[in-house]
Amino acid sequence: MSIANVIVDVPSQNTNRPFDYRVPKKFEGIVQPGVRVIIPFGPRKIMGYVVSLAEKTDFTKVKNIIDVLDVTPVLTHELLHLGKWLSQQTLSFYISCLQVMLPQVMKAKYRKELWKLSEEKLNSELENVFGGRAVIDYEEFEQAGISYHILRKHIDEGEVDVHYEVKSRETKKVTPMVEPKMDEIGLEEVLVDLSSKAKKQRAIVEFFMDHQEPMPKKHLLETLSTTSASLKPLVKQGIIREFKQEVFRDPYENREFKRTQPFELTEEQALAIQPILKTIEEKQHDVFLLHGVTGSGKTEVYLQSIQRVIDDGKEAVMLVPEIALTPQMVERFKGRFGSNVAVLHSALSAGEKYDEWRKIQRKEVQVVVGARSAIFAPFTKIGLIIIDEEHETSYKQEDRTRYHARDVAIERAKNHQCPVVLGSATPALESYARAVKGNYQLLTLSKRMNDAVMPEVELIDMREELHDGNRSMFSRILIEKIEDRLTKGEQVVLFLNRRGYSTFVMCRDCGHVQECPHCDIALTYHKNQNRLKCHYCSHEESMPTQCPECESKTIRYFGTGTQKVEEALQQLVPEARVLRMDVDTTRRKGAHERLLTKFGNKEADILLGTQMIAKGLDFGNVTLVGVLAADAMLNLPDFRASEKTFQLLTQVSGRAGRHEKPGEVIVQTYTPDHYSIDLASQYEYEQFFAEEMKIRKAFNYPPYYFLTLITVSHPNQLKVQEVTRKIVQFMQQKLSNQSYILGPTPSALTRINNRYRYQCMVKYKKEPEQRKLIERILHYYEDEMKQENGLQIIVDFQPYQLM
């Protein structure tokens, strides 16, 4: 008898262990660790993951496996093992840890198909089922009653494959598109002819005057909150054309990437790469921290290290923060390694992600470039893992399985006996501290490429501007310098760390701020729809015309979002062509890329944007960078606020003067004397590190102490207080006297979606029993946590979001 040990797809305390199922004869040899199966569970049929096989079971009543979803395991031995480790590290259920490693699609509805891949004749029965077709429904194969072993053999030979076609809407093969049939001038004439009553039509025409290119119909209608009916008359009159466009699943299929050759390394680069190559060769595990100033050629070091791994017949994982995974970045990897690269990031559709992931699983590529979750790439011979911009907090997943990609990378690299390279111009304090202690090997690139100097940073005290009567969000000197660049034909990047038109709505008379009725948070004004929205729950309402408190009509939106800055900029320098890049202008697929290409082609003078422009951009014609509000982040309730400010300012400044032309940076601030702003302006990383470490030490923060954040939530505030207090009491008794526990305190966001939130924080240096203690707490409240809308206890080890 053959038994499969299965982790079932039910995330709960009781099911957090393998269940035994019998493997029916017909599935023997097919059911193996790492495949997904369908099994009976209580009255239901659900999915599960086979984690191991056994000869016998201790249970008397064992049910049969109903179906096997994979012929090739989707999880390797190593990943199954890693899942276990992850589950212990994060205290999340094993099933959640297995699922976090796989593309979303594997949980979605799919159509199972059999694909014939080669011209070779198959087993005659099987050949009959295909009947000359290349793709058949998997059911047809099943109904034919052919042994799985025959199928297996053909799969192993690469002649046939099981494929999942996702049934989700996103993977639709064609999409309806619309485009204007005339140019801007033509549209202007149309607008003149249109009756002023045809408001919807006018809006569409005006929209196309700004956006000449084709776009998905759905997007147009959504953007203008209008319907097909208002589009129709324009189509009839031949002003707008409707057509269908095929949606390609390989996002880079139709792109030519110019092949690049390795540069001859500079002396510094050569010195840095040497120990990395040596470790690769010796198949050793080690962690390197590559500290290289912006534009020092870190990426070239990555590329050449990866090349060595490829030459050895091994595989490489390259992690990049989501927002830095720009087309420029992809181009550099595709340009060097061509089709040997899979790319994984969130802008891909579910189907595309699945396809890229399959390239890795099928060993069609040796390199993956991806965001956080690419760390789980199902490679089996990893020779190198690189994390670029290693200080980025987006490497920490903030929901469900709260893992940090850096920790997972190091664990996987141990499994594979290979090096990890962490790269950054501004390493995380934790990482640099480890390097100083000798836990990581420090490698340094201190010079920019082509002898380019770091751009000169000038701090502008905005209090003085105000004092001199300048109420604008632009200092006089910044405007002067922008004008100077315009006349020279050089380009400018302006950075603002906020998004949207404005953040909140406030009454000028009584100061009343419109808040979400379900969450303790100000509503955000969305100009396009003239509505207020809550960013934490789904609540929205129309913009009030008068203050609900005092009935005053002077209710205004406040804050400086990118749209508002754009408008102000247009008034100050009307001749400038401005590209705005924020979440709103980049929501559409490929928009990010189009904007950057435009900027790269010098079709715009100024690139104005949020965080997403701070990373990785490499444009030689950018000679001026402006930071509008450097303090925006300093005031967050977060002990990392100074560190984040320093990192961001350094990154942004790094965008200027990267090639021949020297660059210049203007930083507007209300606190020019703050050490993180002052030291960032001088590129004094080491000094900043020293200053910040003093503060961390004084307040017992990381890297001197580890943190564990426990957040409790419930609809009843008294209940939350009580549970949190009990947790604190329990921990206080059990923890060693070198640890602290802070709280209970209300979370910074005290109420979300009508649930109250309290928290406590453990600060510790060494607390080996801590996980066991917390497990006991979770166990104690198990029943209450099962109830719908009941108690919730979230545990976050090494948290980055303290809200």
Ligand X SMILES: Nc1ncnc2c1ncn2[C@@H]1O[C@H](COP(=O)(O)OP(=O)(O)OP(=O)(O)O)[C@@H](O)[C@H]1O
Q: Which residues bind ligand X (CB under 6 A)?
A: 263-266, 269, 292, 294-300, 425, 449, 616, 618, 654
Q: What is the DSSP string of 681-735?
A: HTT-HHHHHHHHHHHHHHTT-TTTSEEEEEEEEES-HHHHHHHHHHHHHHHHHHS
**Minimum distance from CB of 641 to ligand X (Å)?**
22
User: Would you say 418 is a known binding-site residue?
Assistant: no
Give just the sign of the alpha carbon dihedral 559, 561, 563, 564.
positive
Residue 265: name its binding partner from ligand X, Zn ion, none (Cβ under 5 to 8 Å by kind). Answer: ligand X
Residues in contact with Zn ion, counted by CB under 5 A, come to a total of 15
Give the residue carrying structure tokens 């502008």.
460
CA nearest to 347, candidates 365, 379, 320: 320
**Minimum distance from CB of 425 to ligand X (Å)?**
5
Residue 91: name its binding partner from ligand X, Zn ion, none (Cβ under 5 to 8 Å by kind). Answer: none
Give the residue carrying structure tokens 């976050």.
796
**Which residue from 516, 573, 634, 666 is in contact with Zn ion, where contact means CB under 5 A?**
516
Residue placing its CB nearer to ligand X in the complex, 345 or 751: 345
Residue placing its CB nearer to Zn ion in the complex, 537 or 632: 537
Amino acid at 599: F
Residue placing its CB nearer to Zn ion in the complex, 506 or 565: 506
Burial of 256 (0-12, 13-18, 19+ CB in 10 A): exposed
Cβ-Cβ contacts under 8 Å for 28 (sequence gap 6 or more): 2
Collapsed DSSP state (helix, strand, coil) of residue 777 = helix
C-alpha distances in angstroms, 18 versus 14, 48, 54, 398?
Answer: 10, 10, 12, 27
Asked if 520 interacts with Zn ion (CB under 5 A), we say no
User: Would you say 516 is a known binding-site residue?
Assistant: yes
Task: Pick the stretch among 58-66, 518-526, 571-579, 581-589 that binds Zn ion (CB under 5 A).
Answer: 518-526
Residue placing its CB nearer to ligand X in the complex, 223 or 266: 266
Residue placing its CB nearer to Zn ion in the complex, 182 or 537: 537
Asked if 537 interacts with Zn ion (CB under 5 A), we say yes
Residue placing its CB nearer to ligand X in the complex, 256 or 451: 451
**Minimum distance from CB of 549 to Zn ion (Å)?**
4
Asked if 519 interacts with Zn ion (CB under 5 A), we say yes
Residue 775: name its binding partner from Zn ion, ligand X, none (Cβ under 5 to 8 Å by kind). Answer: none
Phi-psi bin for 79: left (phi > 0), alpha (psi -120 to 50), beta? alpha
User: Would you say 534 is a known binding-site residue?
Assistant: yes
Measured from the Cβ of residue 243, the count of other Cβ atoms closer than 10 Å reads 11
**Which residue from 95, 129, 309, 534 is in contact with Zn ion, where contact means CB under 5 A?**
534
Give just the sign of the alpha carbon dihedral 492, 498, 504, 506.
negative
Residue 449: name its binding partner from Zn ion, ligand X, none (Cβ under 5 to 8 Å by kind). Answer: ligand X
Asked if 271 interacts with Zn ion (CB under 5 A), we say no
Burial of 170 (0-12, 13-18, 19+ CB in 10 A): middle
Residue placing its CB nearer to ligand X in the complex, 353 or 655: 655
Residue 644: name its binding partner from Zn ion, ligand X, none (Cβ under 5 to 8 Å by kind). Answer: none
CA nearest to 15, candidates 93, 98, 91, 82: 93
**Minimum distance from CB of 460 to ligand X (Å)?**
24
Residue 461: name its binding partner from Zn ion, ligand X, none (Cβ under 5 to 8 Å by kind). Answer: none
Give the residue carrying structure tokens 């917390």.
774
Partners of 457 in beta bridges: 665
**Minimum distance from CB of 600 to ligand X (Å)?**
13
**Minimum distance from CB of 423 to ligand X (Å)?**
8
Residue placing its CB nearer to Zn ion in the complex, 277 or 513: 513
Collapsed DSSP state (helix, strand, coil) of residue 798 = coil
Residue 519: name its binding partner from ligand X, Zn ion, none (Cβ under 5 to 8 Å by kind). Answer: Zn ion
**Which residue from 456, 484, 549, 784 is in contact with Zn ion, where contact means CB under 5 A?**
549
**Minimum distance from CB of 640 to ligand X (Å)?**
20
Residue placing its CB nearer to ligand X in the complex, 318 or 774: 318
Residue 616: name its binding partner from ligand X, Zn ion, none (Cβ under 5 to 8 Å by kind). Answer: ligand X
What are the structure tokens assigned to 126, written together?
């099987």
Residue 458: name its binding partner from Zn ion, ligand X, none (Cβ under 5 to 8 Å by kind). Answer: none
Rg (CA), the chain: 29
**Minimum distance from CB of 717 to Zn ion (Å)?**
17
Say how far apart CA 370 and CA 146 lie, in whole Å: 40
Angle at 795 between CA 794 and CA 798, to 5 degrees: 135
Residue placing its CB nearer to ligand X in the complex, 295 or 743: 295
Collapsed DSSP state (helix, strand, coil) of residue 100 = helix
Instruction: Look up residue 671 and give its DSSP letter.
Output: -
**Minimum distance from CB of 663 to ligand X (Å)?**
12
What are the structure tokens assigned to 507, written together?
């009454």
Say how far apart CA 432 and CA 703 lie, in whole Å: 10
Residue 744: name its binding partner from ligand X, Zn ion, none (Cβ under 5 to 8 Å by kind). Answer: none
**Minimum distance from CB of 522 to Zn ion (Å)?**
10
Q: What is the DSSP string of 474-505?
A: S-HHHHHHHHHHHHHT-EEEEE-S--SS-SEE
Task: Pick the stretch among 15-23, 39-47, 215-223, 551-559 that binds Zn ion (CB under 5 A).
Answer: 551-559
Residue placing its CB nearer to ligand X in the complex, 522 or 607: 607
User: Kind of pairing, strands 504-507 and 555-558?
Assistant: antiparallel
Residue 443: name its binding partner from ligand X, Zn ion, none (Cβ under 5 to 8 Å by kind). Answer: none
Asked if 546 interacts with Zn ion (CB under 5 A), we say no
Say how far apart CA 30 and CA 149 lie, in whole Å: 8
User: Would you say 519 is a known binding-site residue?
Assistant: yes
**Which residue from 374, 547, 761, 793 is in contact with Zn ion, where contact means CB under 5 A?**
547
Residue 481: name its binding partner from Zn ion, ligand X, none (Cβ under 5 to 8 Å by kind). Answer: none
Asked if 612 interacts with Zn ion (CB under 5 A), we say no
Say how far apart CA 332 and CA 59 lie, in whole Å: 56
**Which residue from 153, 308, 518, 719 is in contact with Zn ion, where contact means CB under 5 A?**
518
Residue placing its CB nearer to Zn ion in the complex, 152 or 512: 512
**Minimum distance from CB of 559 to Zn ion (Å)?**
18
Is residue 440 a contact partner of residue 422, using CB atoms and an 8 Å limit? yes
In which element (H, E) is residue 330 found? helix 327-337
**Minimum distance from CB of 752 to Zn ion (Å)?**
7
Say how far apart CA 539 and CA 518 lie, in whole Å: 8
Task: Pick the stretch among 51-59, 287-295, 535-543, 679-687 that binds Zn ion (CB under 5 A).
Answer: 535-543
**Minimum distance from CB of 294 to ligand X (Å)?**
3
Say how far apart CA 77 and CA 476 lie, in whole Å: 62
Binding mask 623-662 for Zn ion (x = CB under 5 A): ----------------------------------------
C-alpha distances in angstroms, 480 versus 140, 421, 571, 573, 656?
Answer: 72, 42, 14, 10, 17
Residues 483-512 interacting with Zn ion (rule: CB under 5 A)? 507, 509-510, 512
Give the residue carrying structure tokens 């526990």.
741
**Minimum distance from CB of 592 to ligand X (Å)?**
17
Q: What is the DSSP string of 215-233?
A: EEHHHHHHHTT--HHHHHH
Tell me the binding residues.
507, 510, 516, 519, 534, 537, 547, 550
Binding residues for Zn(2+): 507, 510, 516, 519, 534, 537, 547, 550
Interaction site with Zn ion (CB under 5 A): 507, 509-510, 512, 516, 518-519, 534, 536-537, 539, 547, 549-550, 552
